[in-house]
Amino acid sequence: MTTALITGANRGLGLETAKQLAARGWHVILACRELSRAREAAATIEGATARRLDLGDPASIAALAREAIEIDVLINNAAIAMRGFDAEVARQTIAVNLLGTLAVTDALAPRVRDGGAIVMVSSGMGELSVLGNPARERVARAATIDEVRALADELVAAVANGTHERGGWPSSAYSVSKALLNASTRVLAQTFAARKIRVNAVCPGWVRTDLGGRSAPRDIPTGARSIVAAVLEPRATGGFFRDGAPIAW
Ligand code: NDP
């Protein structure tokens, strides 16, 4: 049976992605910040299992990585979008959306079978076009995860001292976290090529979830179908997709 581990699967797009994959006969592991919520969600999906995983808690990541689970697809879906914009918002957003996702990927990659896949749930708000120069060129060129991390540190420091706009950074920590997640996707696709693990990013479109808000044009099943299409993508690696079609970084 094919197994997917989905982070942030107790509500929104993560939960619906789990339901759509389970409907295809997949075993889904719902990895959620609160174990009780993971269990409640798993009870609504046949054969689903629940695990605790908080992207901001390295101990919870390490504990999950120690379990003898075999994963075909790791779906990094969990993320936050905070109100406002200051250094603390930038720090927390980067900590969860970028560094937390990278920590989960690093810890669980040994559990992903060779020939499997890692899917980063990203956003069109992280397209390179949201960045000004020199940030845009530097993010586009980042060739290692250390470079991506250094850019993230730089953003937080620049927001704190009020120089981020000069560096080409937009006043949206969420956008930057996703642009750097996309940069990580390009790097990790190369890192895992030797194990034939495909690494792709996907945008679900603008969806009516707690994060997307009520004005979003898409319903949750439509957004999740975009994620599932990336999960089922048979060949590509190092790509960015929406609704099963490649989109520009
Ligand atoms: P929701 O706010 O509905 O759900 C977010 C999920 O992430 C929740 O399960 C939440 O858990 C979990 N989460 C947040 N922080 C952590 C953490 N530290 N550790 C573990 N889990 C955490 O968001 P969506 O379903 O809309 O978003 C899912 C993904 O889709 C995100 O990556 C988002 O950026 C992306 N996306 C969404 C768009 C939209 O319009 N909705 C557009 C583009 C991209 P808890 O319930 O415990 O808070």
Quote the tokens at residue 203. Answer: 């945008």
Nearest-atom number in ligand 1 for the CA of 122 is: 44
Q: In the prediction, which pLDDT does 35 show? A: 98
22-41, pLDDT tens digit by residue?
A: 999 999 999 999 999 999 99
Q: Cβ distance 238 to 185 under 8 Å?
A: yes
145 C-beta closer than 6 A to ligand 1: no
CB under 8 Å to 65, separation ≥6 — which residues? 107, 108, 110, 111
Mutating to test ligand 1, I would choose from 105, 209, 222 the residue with most ligand atoms within 8 A of its C-beta, which is 209
Rounded CA-CA distance 237/12 in Å is 26
pLDDT value for 173: 98
| CA torsion through residues 84, 87, 91, 92, sign | negative
Q: What is the pLDDT of residue 100?
A: 98
Q: pLDDT value at position 179? A: 98
Note the pLDDT tens digit of each residue in 131-180: 999 999 999 999 999 999 999 999 999 999 999 999 999 999 999 999 99
The pLDDT, as a whole number, for residue 168 is: 98
In which residue ranges of the chain is pLDDT below 50?
A: none
Please work out whether the CB of residue 126 comes within 6 Å of at least one atom of ligand 1: no
How many angstroms does the Cα of residue 211 sit away from the middle of ligand 1? 6
Instruction: Give 79's contacts (C-beta < 8 A, 6+ positions apart).
Output: 8, 96, 97, 101, 121, 177, 211
Specify the pLDDT at position 81: 98
pLDDT at 163 (0 to 100): 97
Domains and CATH numbers, the chain: 3-83+103-130+184-246 (3.40.50.720)
pTM listed for this prediction? 0.98
Closest ligand 1 atom to 100 CA: 18
Pocket test residue of 5, 11, 52, 108 for ligand 1, highest count of atoms within 8 A of CB: 11
pLDDT value of position 194:
98
Burial-class residue 228 by CB neighbours within 10 Å (0-12, 13-18, 19+): buried
* Residue 116 pLDDT: 98
Q: How far is CA 224 from CA 5, 77, 148, in A?
A: 15, 11, 27
**Catalytic: which of 169, 174, 192, 249?**
174
Cα(209)–Cα(249) distance, rounded to whole angstroms? 24
Quick check: CB of 120 below 6 Å from ligand 1? no
Calpha distance 145→39 (Å, rounded): 33
Q: Give the whole-angstrom CA distance, residue 179 versus residue 191.
A: 19
**Cβ–Cβ contacts within 10 Å for residue 246, how many?**
12
Amino acid 170: pLDDT? 97
Q: Which of 97, 66, 78, 75 is nearest to 28 (CA)?
A: 75
Q: Is the Cβ atom of 71 under 6 angstroms away from ligand 1?
A: no
Mutate to test the pocket of ligand 1, among 13, 29, 180 (most ligand atoms within 8 A of CB): 13
Q: Can you give the pLDDT at residue 103?
A: 98
Could you list the beta-strand ranges (E) of the chain.
3-7, 27-32, 49-52, 71-76, 112-121, 198-202, 240-242, 245-246
CA distance 158 to 110: 35
Q: Please work out whether the CB of residue 8 comes within 6 Å of at least one atom of ligand 1.
A: yes
Map tokens 């079978």 to a residue: 113
- To the query of whether residue 174 is one of the catalytic residues in this protein, the response is yes
